[in-house]
């Protein structure tokens, strides 16, 4: 299926672009971009039980990414790219993770150190964009890199229609290289259809549905407000609810999300609350990912009967861009009794342009209070990225 999908893309691209002087122009006017980067991550378990995933690890990896994007020809455009990553240093080269040998293989899978990051054909005309192939897909319940199809239409003023089909998903990023895994392999993947309408006063409404044959179906809705009090001050918020109808699980999943924010110039404060279903949490809603968990880790938010409160602050200080989030989560374990657990987490991200095309970044995460299956930990990531 994977080979046939890529072959189909190549055939369509050939038919759309072949045997024409314009093809030469489209290819000649295409653009290359990429990055050369190094990233180090160190994790220390402070308290609690260690496991294969939760353990003391330290490593440095090097990564190279390259992307080519042709110019449009007869409304078609071809995009391809790859990334290669290799460990430069591992504190324990013999440590066995779930995905290879060496400290880095929990993030950079040993068998997935070189992968295609993009391979898709795009058609763009009549207020409609169609992308077929490997591409990044970001929406409420789909994330990361997917093999699939995305159709977006803006023919009606203020209305955006978005349809997605994904058959496989992976991660091809500087600090994460995860091989592509099929989604609902034997039953046709996962479908997502949504519509967003934005009024002129900053108010918006979104409704969407998800469907994976013999796994689940789901409906969700959002009310969104994004307004300006003055040129310097903006305020807004989101109310979001979704519920799944599970085919294989006895209980259904659900999630409620509420956000409030205020933004003054380059500084934004967000207050958030997330609550999940009592029996199985989100259920199958996050089969293809989510955009709800804002923490660097946030693992306990995927348990059941979750109640998370958090505050997030983003600002710019001189050339520094800084985001920090602190939150507390009360939850119960899936498959466990009704014991309530609580864990707190602080995450921070800092980036700084060292010089033209060279960026430094720092990622800090601390999980407080060890609980069953979830130890307390400190994690620090440092990176250098040269983009071209």
Does some domain include residue 123?
Answer: yes
- Does 372 reside within a domain? no
pLDDT at res. 21: 57
Question: pLDDT band at 23, cuts 50/70/90?
Answer: confident
Q: Is residue 273 assigned to a domain?
A: no
For residue 105, what are the contacts with CB-CB under 8 A and spacing of at least 6? Answer: 97, 99
Kindly state whether residue 10 falls inside one of the protein's structural domains: yes
Structure tokens at 28: 């000649």
Cβ burial of 194 (10 Å; 0-12, 13-18, 19+) is buried
The pTM of this model reads 0.91
The average pLDDT across 319-346 equals 97
CB atoms closer than 10 angstroms to residue 109: 21
pLDDT of residue 8: 47
Helix (H) or strand (E) holding 152: strand 145-153
Asked if residue 332 lies in contact with residue 277, where contact means CB atoms within 8 angstroms, the answer is no
Give the per-residue pLDDT at 26.
87
Residue 346 domain flag = no
The stretch 13-33 carries a mean pLDDT of: 71
Tokens representing residue 214 in the block: 């013999």
Tell whether 91 is covered by a domain: yes
Q: Percentage of the chain with pLDDT > 90?
A: 93
pLDDT tens-digit series, residues 149-169: 999 999 999 999 999 999 999
Predicted confidence (pLDDT) at residue 2 exceeds the cutoff of 50: no
User: What band does 1 get if pLDDT is binned at 50, 70 and 90?
Assistant: very low
- Phi, psi angle pair for 154, to nearest 5°: -130, 35
pLDDT at 22: 79
Give the pLDDT band (50/70/90) at residue 10.
low
- The model's pLDDT over 356-373, given as tens digits with 9 standing for 90+, comes to 999 999 999 999 999 999
The percent of residues above 70 in pLDDT, for the chain, comes to: 95
In the chain, the number of structural domains is 1
The helix (run of H) or strand (run of E) holding residue 12 is helix 2-17
Task: Give dist(CA 75, CA 57) in Å, integer.
Answer: 48
Under 8 Å between Cβ of 349 and 323: yes
Residue 84 belongs to a domain: yes
Is 190 among the domain residues?
no
What CA–CA distance (Å, rounded) separates 265 from 318?
A: 13
| Mean pLDDT, range 115-129, rounded to an integer | 98
Domain extent at residue 120: 1-41+59-182
Q: Is 100 within 8 Å of 93 (Cβ atoms)?
A: no
pLDDT, averaged across the chain:
95
Mean pLDDT over residues 55-75, rounded?
97
The tens digit of pLDDT for each residue in 284-316 reads 999 999 999 999 999 999 999 999 999 999 999
């Amino acid at each position: 299926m994977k080979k046939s999908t890529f072959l189909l893309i190549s055939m369509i691209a050939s038919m759309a672009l072949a045997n024409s002087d314009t093809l030469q122009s489209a290819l000649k006017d295409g653009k290359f971009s990429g990055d050369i980067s190094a990233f180090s991550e160190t994790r220390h378990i402070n308290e609690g039980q260690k496991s294969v995933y939760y353990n003391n690890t330290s490593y440095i990896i090097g990564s190279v990414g390259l992307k080519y994007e042709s110019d449009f020809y007869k409304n078609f455009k071809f995009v391809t790219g790859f990334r290669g990553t290799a460990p430069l240093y591992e504190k324990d080269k013999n440590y066995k993770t779930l995905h290879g040998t060496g400290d880095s293989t929990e993030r950079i899978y040993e068998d997935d150190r070189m992968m295609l990051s993009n391979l898709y054909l795009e058609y763009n005309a009549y207020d409609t964009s169609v992308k077929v192939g490997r591409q990044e897909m970001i929406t409420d319940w789909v994330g990361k890199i997917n093999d699939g199809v995305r159709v977006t239409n803006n023919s009606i003023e203020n209305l955006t229609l978005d349809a997605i089909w994904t058959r496989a998903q992976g991660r091809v990023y500087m600090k994460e290289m995860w091989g592509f895994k099929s989604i609902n392999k034997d039953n046709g993947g996962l479908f997502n259809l949504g519509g967003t309408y934005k009024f002129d006063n900053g108010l918006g409404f979104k409704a969407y549905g998800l469907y994976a044959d013999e796994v689940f179906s789901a409906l969700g809705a959002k009310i969104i407000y994004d307004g300006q009090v003055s040129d310097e001050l903006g305020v807004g918020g989101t109310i979001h609810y979704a519920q799944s109808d599970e085919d294989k699980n006895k209980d259904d999943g659900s999630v409620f999300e509420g956000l409030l924010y205020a933004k003054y110039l380059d500084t934004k404060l967000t207050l958030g609350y997330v609550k999940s279903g009592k029996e199985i949490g989100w259920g199958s809603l996050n089969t293809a990912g989510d955009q709800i968990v804002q923490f660097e880790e946030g693992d306990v938010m995927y348990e059941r009967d979750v109640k998370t409160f958090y505050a997030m602050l983003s600002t710019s200080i001189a050339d520094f861009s800084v985001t920090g989030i602190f939150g507390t989560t009360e939850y119960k374990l899936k498959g466990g009794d009704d014991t309530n657990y609580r864990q707190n987490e602080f995450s921070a991200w800092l980036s700084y342009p060292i010089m033209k095309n060279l960026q430094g970044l720092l990622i800090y995460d601390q999980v407080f209070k060890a609980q069953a299956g979830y130890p307390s930990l400190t994690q620090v990531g440092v990176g250098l990225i040269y983009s071209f």
